[in-house]
Amino acid sequence: MKKMGSVVILAMLLLLVSACGSKEATSTPEASTASQSAKESTEASTQGGTVDEIKKRGKLNIGTSGTFRPMTFMDEKGELVGVDIEIGQKIAEKLGVELEWSVGNLAGLIPAMLADKSDLVMFSTTMNPDRLEVIDFSEEYTSLGTVAVVKESNTTVKDVTELDGLIIGVIGGSGAQSTAEGIGGYKEMKQYPGHGEAIADLKLGRIDVYVAGSIAAYDFIKHDTGGEKLKVVGQHYNELDIGVGIRKNEPELKAVVDSVIQEMKQDGSLQQLLDKWISK
C-alpha cells in the first residue's frame, strides 16, 4: 500500500475544559473545548484558512486519530490507511498540494483545528449536534450508528439503549460517548483512547458493554482472533452522517472538499472505496 502522505505526530496535550468537570452531561470533552476555541479563534492564521494560503504553503494538513479502523488506522507498516485517508489524499490532489497528517488524541482534534494547527479533521467524524455548533462539515460520504458490543456469552445486554446499571466503555471524545451520555442510566462510564484498549477491558470483564460506532465495531469483530468472541446486540441507534470537519466561515475550502466527494459519488469511486474497507 503506498503511503498516503507524511504522518506528523503532534503532542496534543490540551488541558480540556471538560476534563475538569465543566461540561454538561450531554456534551463531549471535544465539544466543550472546541466551543471555547471557536470563540477565541476569529481568523485563520499560520497553518490554516483559505485555499490560497494552503496552496502557497504547498501542503494540506488534516488532523486524524489513526485509531478508528477501517476509517483511519495504522497498517502493519505503520502507515495510515482507510476510508478517510484515501479521501484526504483526493482532497490534497484536488488542491495540487502535498498531504500531511497530524495524528492525535480524538478529543483534541477539533480544538487543534480551531487553533489553526490543521486545516481539516477526518476521524470518521459524525455530524452530531455538539460538533455542528462549533464547526462546519462537508457533504456526507457515509454514515454510522451506535451499537452495543458484548462478549458472545453475554445474554443480559439486549440493546445499546438499555444501559441501566451497567459499566460501559467508550472512546473518549467520540460520537458514541455523546450518544451514551444522552441515553444515560449506566453505573459507570470508562473512557479509552482507542478500540483496542476498550475491547481488551471488555474481554477481561472490566466493562459490561462497549458502546461504539457501528462501522468500527463490525470491523473489529470480523478481524478479532484472540480470546472470547464478541458480538453486536440490538439495533443501530442514532444513525449520523459522516463528513470532513471544516472550520466555520471557510466557504472556499468547503467547496473544494464538497466537489471531491461529489465527483467520487458520481464516478462510483466512493462506493468502491466503501466496499473495499467497510465490513458488511
**11 occurs within a structural domain:** no
What b/e string do you get for 233-261 counting C-beta neighbours within 10 Å, with b at 16 or more? Answer: beeebbebbbbbbbbeebeebbebbbebb
Q: What is the pLDDT of residues 268-277, one digit of tens each?
A: 999 999 999 9
Per residue, what are the HEC states of 196-213? HHHHHHHHHCCCCEEEEE
**34 occurs within a structural domain:** no
SS3 state at 7 = strand
Structural domain count, the chain = 2
Enter the pTM of the model. Answer: 0.78
pLDDT at 50: 80
**274 and 230 in a common domain:** no
**81 and 102 in a common domain:** yes
Q: What is the pLDDT of residues 155-199, one digit of tens each?
A: 999 999 999 999 999 999 898 999 999 999 999 999 999 888 999
Q: What is the pLDDT of residues 215-224, one digit of tens each?
A: 999 998 988 8
pLDDT at 280: 62
Comparison of pLDDT for 48 and 163, the residue scoring more:
163
**89 and 78 in a common domain:** yes
Give strand ranges (E) for the chain. Answer: 6-9, 59-64, 67-68, 72-74, 80-81, 98-103, 120-121, 135-137, 142-151, 167-171, 188-192, 209-213, 230-242, 245-247
What DSSP character marks residue 161? T
**222 and 207 in a common domain:** yes
User: Which domain range does residue 217 map to?
Assistant: 145-239
**259 and 128 in a common domain:** yes
What CATH number is associated with residue 255? 3.40.190.10
Position 20 pLDDT exceeds 70: no
**21 occurs within a structural domain:** no
Of 10-14, 207-211, 223-227, where does mean pLDDT reach its minimum? Answer: 10-14
**180 and 99 in a common domain:** no
